[in-house]
């Protein structure tokens, strides 16, 4: 059973709903997220733990409750080559030569188990989160389907970001668990386990979200240190 909620239509998208959103913060959000994710194969609805622009933004709960969502502006994730995207972004933001993609590896634990564990910790630290449901074949595609525009200051076609997250799902056992106004939270079942691997992953992350370094760690090497064995990745765009 779902908590009370409503469908949300996109700001410029007419009457077609793009999101089901709970009316308020959800008790037991992580457990509900896990159950709904387990039901995804049959329902076609990917669950998201949703954050507002500000934790005290209980009324507006932007962008979700306000419909600041733009699926009509997005292309398709299938239309983009993730390796080419990352290389192009890197060339735009970095001075060094693109180091190539990090190798993937088999996870020691099932990605869905890792995702459920991350959801539990995420929800425990954020009692204000709400639950969302998006009609999408996978978590990466839910970002495009709902019309999320978190990285819009860098690129306003979220399908490109979905294409990269798809590839991370494949290579690292990543799962989309939570999304905010301009934040993205992934669980990761097969993170880098060496400094060398972590530096390659850090390069991908910098290409994907430069603010992690520019307004965070300061250097790629410092950021890479935080990725060794890390079971979740968090992104924030200014």
Domain ranges of the chain: 5-236
pLDDT for the residue numbered 69: 97
Verify cis geometry, omega within 30 degrees of 0, for the bond prior to 161: no
Alpha carbon distances (Å) from 201 to 107, 193, 196, 205, 216: 16, 11, 9, 6, 16
104 by Cβ neighbours in 10 Å (0-12 / 13-18 / 19+) ranks as middle
Locate 100 and state its tokens.
């190539």
Strand partners, 132: 21, 48
**pLDDT, mean of residues 73-98:** 97
pLDDT for the residue numbered 130: 98
Convert the pLDDT of each residue in 160-174 to its tens digit.
Answer: 999 999 999 999 999
Cα torsion 14, 17, 23, 24: sign: negative
pLDDT for the residue numbered 192: 97
Res. 55: pLDDT tops 90: no
pLDDT for the residue numbered 57: 76
Alpha carbon distances (Å) from 103 to 60, 171, 201, 230: 42, 7, 9, 16
**pLDDT, mean of residues 224-234:** 98
Nearest to 197 by CA among 105, 82, 109, 103: 103
Quote the CA–CA distance of 215 and 220 in Å, as a whole number.
12
Percentage above 90 pLDDT, the chain: 93
133 by Cβ neighbours in 10 Å (0-12 / 13-18 / 19+) ranks as buried
């Amino acid at each position: 059973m779902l908590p009370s909620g409503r469908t949300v239509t996109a700001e410029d998208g007419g009457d077609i709903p793009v999101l089901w959103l709970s009316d308020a913060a959800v008790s037991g959000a992580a457990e509900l997220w896990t159950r709904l994710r387990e039901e995804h194969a049959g329902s076609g609805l990917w669950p998201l733990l949703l954050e507002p622009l500000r934790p005290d933004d209980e009324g507006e709960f932007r962008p979700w409750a306000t419909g600041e969502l733009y699926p009509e502006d997005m292309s398709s994730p299938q239309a983009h080559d993730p390796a080419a995207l990352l290389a192009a972004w890197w060339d735009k933001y970095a001075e060094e030569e693109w180091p190539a993609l990090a190798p993937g590896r088999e996870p020691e634990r099932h990605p869905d188990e890792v995702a459920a564990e991350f959801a539990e910790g995420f929800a425990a630290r954020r009692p204000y989160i709400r639950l969302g449901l998006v009609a999408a074949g996978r978590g990466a595609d839910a970002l495009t389907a709902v019309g999320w525009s978190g990285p819009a200051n860098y690129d306003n076609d979220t399908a490109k970001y979905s294409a990269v997250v798809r590839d991370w799902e494949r290579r690292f056992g990543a799962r989309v668990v939570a999304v905010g106004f301009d934040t993205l939270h992934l669980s990761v079942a097969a993170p880098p386990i060496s400094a060398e691997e972590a530096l390659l992953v850090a390069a991908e992350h910098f290409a994907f979200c430069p603010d992690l370094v520019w307004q965070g760690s300061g250097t790629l090497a410092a950021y890479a240190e935080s990725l060794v064995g890390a079971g979740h990745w968090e992104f924030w765009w200014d």
